[in-house]
Structure 1
Amino acid sequence: MAGSNAKIDWITVLLFILLVGFGWGNIYSASLTDEFTSIFDINQVYGKQSIRILMSIVLIVLILSIQAKFYERFASIIYILSLLSLLGLYVFGKEISGATSWYDLGVANLQPSEFAKAATALALAKYVSDLQVNIFEFKHQLRALLIIGLPVVFIAPQPDPGSAIVFLSLLIPLYREGLSKYYINTGLVAVAVFVITLIISPLYTSILAVLIAVVYFYLKKEQRSLWLIVATILAIAFFIFFLENEQYYLSAIILGLVIVYTVLSIKQKNVLPKILMLLFLVISFSFSGDYIFENVFAQRHRDRFNIVLGKQVDNQGIGYNTAQSEIAIGSGGWTGKGWTQGTQTKGKFVPEQHTDYIFSTVGEEWGFLGSSLVIVLFTLLLLRIYMISERQKSQFNRVYGYGVLSILFIHFSINIGMVLGIFPTVGIPLPFFSYGGSALWGFTILLFILVKLDSKRMFYE
């Protein structure tokens, strides 16, 4: 049981309550029917969510009642069990919306990837905080990356690229603990090259990279200023623009700036080996990324990427959700149409409006001010988690705290971007807001394990 010395961070608890409460209110509005019975009516979406919120309270009490040492001592076992639950989907999983990511328990469906996030964060914290582990050594870095990568390997083929992306955010705690910028920079290059390859061909991406690298190396060798280097890259981009089109122009700028940033972050006089390595990575990522996009991603995922990148327009088909979401948010104006008064919401124009697209309900009914309030609440929660993580004396606690921060941040940013049409629709729920038991319970477990660890920070060493 929680001891008398426990000190709960009530600011975090309050932010959790506000987000869950505001989320339920919008789920209620998005799923309201003409006949209201009870907020606990299990035949209604809002009734089911009410029951799930009550179960979350039970989870919170259970999490806070367990000794803090338990989460560190049994982190590896929890992680292994979560991996087994992910593997089990290939045999016993139920397909929903094109992804075999669920277990059918009869009374409800359970998505194990939501619980695997907390399990992976615990396992990573357990490994990094081990006295025998030196994160500066390559073999230990590789093992840490393996802990993060295994869930990705199990989840991505379901296919569920959204959940797979979330696990990659756990690289951030490693960076906080001293992992070389090389990995972060490599990730930035990979993401930039992947997106650019979707706009232009892998061949043109590789040619651009070689051209920019040659010019950069010459100017660096001649000790030219950074501004001149950037100006040269922009000149190359404009040149390509006049020869080809606007997409090539933007791609050259993005790729050039990423390469410049990456090379400048390396404190070495001899940059030629690093430039050659970058070129190898860019060319490898461009062709492998194109292969993955065409052969691993489902057609619906490819279509969503193409819509966001402007290569495809389909407001009546695969792009319908995003188009209607933008209409709903835009129609809200400054103050919104009022709770339960949204015409787009009541008309059910936005599919999945109570789940992944719940923020469109906020935008329509609460307007810019209400949407800003939600963003502020999430920002405050993220800042609070950052503060909690930094004040931990235990490395296990700190690494886990950064894991929580990373997972919530990637969910929040991608979901909002997805609803606004900035990111493709990848099925990532808004934490504590979106309808669904697995997501709500998974986020609750994730957050309140940190609350428990923090409550014992003066005694748990």
Structure 2
Amino acid sequence: MKNQSTRSNMDWMVVSLYITLVVLGWLNIYSASLPIEETSILDLNQIYGKQMLFIIISIPLIIVLLSIDGKFFEKFSSVIFIGSLLALAGLFVFGKEVKGQTNWYAIGSFGLQPAEFAKFATALALSKYLGDVQVNLSVAKYQFQALGILLLPIALIAPNDPGSALIFSSMILVLYREGLPAWYLWTGFTAILLFIASLLFEPIYIVLTALILIIIQYLRSRLINRNIVLSSIVFVLISAFTFSVSYVFDNVFQQHHRDRFNILLGKAVDMKGIGYNINQSKIAVGSGGWTGKGFLEGTQTKGGFVPEQHTDYIFTTVGEEWGFIGSMIIIFLFIALILRIIYLAERQKTKFSRVYGYCVASILFIHFFVNTAMVLGLFPTVGVPLPLFSYGGSGLLAFTMLIFIFVKMDANKVNEW
């Protein structure tokens, strides 16, 4: 009876969008990795064969997730979160180094990336914490504790994989939805702008501009007792941050990170070196025109000109073979999935499931936004895959768990139609 209730109350729009994206993703992986000789789609020596295996494994995983009582995830959220942190910490001792990053546990010919599973574990932990009726994010103590939940996995992931660490910061949007003061978002947004501006212009010009703007703002608002001390503190912080950017950029960032920013900001041109990926990505996407070259007909794809095309740069296959129209359809599907999850999150009867729904939407959004922006050369290459689309067993299984845990939570409530 419980399984029948789950099936009848399950949101089939989310399920349909999930299936559609997974199938279309596999088709693009197949195109990006198809060898000259014909082989079985289950050939585990081929990338598309391995991805098909992961898709098949996802089916019983979904059945298990939908069979579990929805309260299980809330009850054991802390245990799941601690387990994910231990798995991340274990990478420093037992992790396998791949391309200079120790992100994987080696399991035979396969690899397990715990950072992918830490996303839904952190989402559960944050939902559990914010679900407490006593938590009020207008109070500093609760703000720091909530941010601490996000900082724990970030601290363990950032040394090996800054791109994955970036994903966890997206859940600050969830905190904002639940009452975090807006100045946190404005501070983060301002810091990003100052960082970029400091790489493009001399710091003294930025500081003088900030001083002029603060003075104008102070004069405009002095009638409401604007605190000159606060304005002075803001100016000092902006100045200190601006002058520290060059030191951090030169001494904290690794060389390949500096190169990627310089390429993105137009401070360096290196079409054969660090800028090769982005340049080839733009060529592949642009060559598709309006309708694309057709499935399995992409010359850039077949020629292997775009490195990592089956993973981080999978969207270039869409752009080349399916064109602008096909790319817009994929973008529409992702936006539809994210908006549907947000809609369902607002209809939840418990704060725990509502917060978790927003976490799912935030994680999917930041992955989708960063990956597509990266492929189009609007964002540095940071190794963020396209959800449900890029090759990777850990990613597919983790996103499946992330989404279907919420599907189960939503199915447990009484629909309000």
TM-score bracket, normalised by the shorter chain, equals over 0.9
Aligned to 2:369: 413
Aligned to 1:176: 177
Which of 50, 53, 77 does residue 52 from structure 2 map onto?
A: 50
Change in 2 beyond 3 A, CA 1:150/1:49 = same
Which of 18, 21, 24 does residue 22 from structure 1 map onto?
A: 24
Q: In 2, are the aligned partners of 1:2 and 1:66 still within 8 Å (CA)?
A: no
Which of 307, 314, 318 does residue 358 from structure 1 map onto?
A: 314
Tell me the alpha carbon deviations over residues 184-235 of structure 1, each in whole angstroms, 9 at most, x when there is no partner: 11111111112112222444433332232223323444x8xxxxxxxxxxxx
Aligned to 1:115: 117
Aligned to 1:156: 158
Q: Which amino acid aligns with 2:396?
A: L
Aligned to 1:456: 412
Q: In 2, are the aligned partners of 1:394 and 1:457 still within 8 Å (CA)?
A: no
Which of 115, 139, 142 does residue 140 from structure 1 map onto?
A: 142
Aligned to 1:228: none
Q: Which amino acid aligns with 2:5?
A: N
Aligned to 2:340: 384
Aligned to 1:253: none
Aligned to 1:66: 68
TM-score normalized by the length of structure 2: 0.95
Aligned residues: CA RMSD: 1.7
Matches within 5 A, 1:394-405: 394-405=350-361
Change in 2 beyond 3 A, CA 1:269/1:378 = farther
Aligned to 2:105: 103
Q: Quick one: distance in 2 between partners of 1:81 and 1:277? A: 41
Change in 2 beyond 3 A, CA 1:126/1:204 = same
Aligned to 2:193: 192
Matches within 5 A, 1:60-459: 60-158=62-160, 160-221=161-222, 270=226, 272-458=228-414
Deviation of 1:286 after TM superposition, in Å, equals 2.4
Q: Which amino acid aligns with 1:5?
A: S
Tell me the alpha carbon deviations over residues 356-404 of structure 1, each in whole angstroms, 9 at most, x when there is no partner: 0000000000000000000000010011011011001100001111111
Give the SS at the match of 2:5.
coil
Change in 2 beyond 3 A, CA 1:293/1:161 = farther
Q: In 2, are the aligned partners of 1:78 and 1:119 still within 8 Å (CA)?
A: yes
Q: Quick one: distance in 2 between partners of 1:110 and 1:344? A: 30
**Structure 1 stretch displaced more, 62-71 or 356-365:** 62-71
Q: Which amino acid aligns with 1:388?
A: L
Structure 2's unaligned 5+ residue stretches are none
Deviation of 1:62 after TM superposition, in Å, equals 1.5
Q: Quick one: distance in 2 between partners of 1:291 and 1:13? A: 48
Deviation of 1:294 after TM superposition, in Å, equals 2.5
Q: Which amino acid aligns with 1:282?
A: I
Q: Which amino acid aligns with 2:298?
A: G
Q: Which amino acid aligns with 1:349?
A: F
Q: In 2, are the aligned partners of 1:189 and 1:282 still within 8 Å (CA)?
A: no
Give the SS at the match of 1:4.
helix
Change in 2 beyond 3 A, CA 1:451/1:373 = same
Q: Quick one: distance in 1 between partners of 2:13 and 2:226? A: 50
Q: In 2, are the aligned partners of 1:102 and 1:112 still within 8 Å (CA)?
A: yes
Aligned to 2:12: 10
Q: Quick one: distance in 2 between partners of 1:207 and 1:82? A: 46
Which of 20, 35, 38 does residue 36 from structure 1 map onto?
A: 38
Q: Which amino acid aligns with 1:9?
A: D
Tell me the alpha carbon deviations over residues 119-169 of structure 1, each in whole angstroms, 9 at most, x when there is no partner: 1011000001113322221111110000011111111111x2111111001
Give the SS at the match of 1:369.
helix
Change in 2 beyond 3 A, CA 1:52/1:288 = farther
Q: In 1, are the aligned partners of 2:218 and 2:226 still within 8 Å (CA)?
A: no
Q: Which amino acid aligns with 1:174?
A: L
**Structure 1 stretch displaced more, 100-109 or 162-171:** 100-109
Q: In 1, are the aligned partners of 2:136 and 2:179 still within 8 Å (CA)?
A: no
Structure 1's unaligned 5+ residue stretches are 224-267
Deviation of 1:458 after TM superposition, in Å, equals 2.8
Q: Quick one: distance in 1 between partners of 2:317 and 2:339? A: 25
Change in 2 beyond 3 A, CA 1:343/1:133 = same
Change in 2 beyond 3 A, CA 1:407/1:280 = farther
Give the SS at the match of 2:304.
coil
Q: Quick one: distance in 2 between partners of 1:281 and 1:448? A: 43
Q: In 2, are the aligned partners of 1:2 and 1:64 still within 8 Å (CA)?
A: no
Q: In 1, are the aligned partners of 2:74 and 2:124 still within 8 Å (CA)?
A: yes
Change in 2 beyond 3 A, CA 1:49/1:205 = same
Q: In 2, are the aligned partners of 1:157 and 1:296 still within 8 Å (CA)?
A: no
Deviation of 1:88 after TM superposition, in Å, equals 0.9
Q: Which amino acid aligns with 1:376?
A: F
**Structure 1 stretch displaced more, 285-294 or 166-175:** 285-294
Q: Which amino acid aligns with 1:213?
A: I
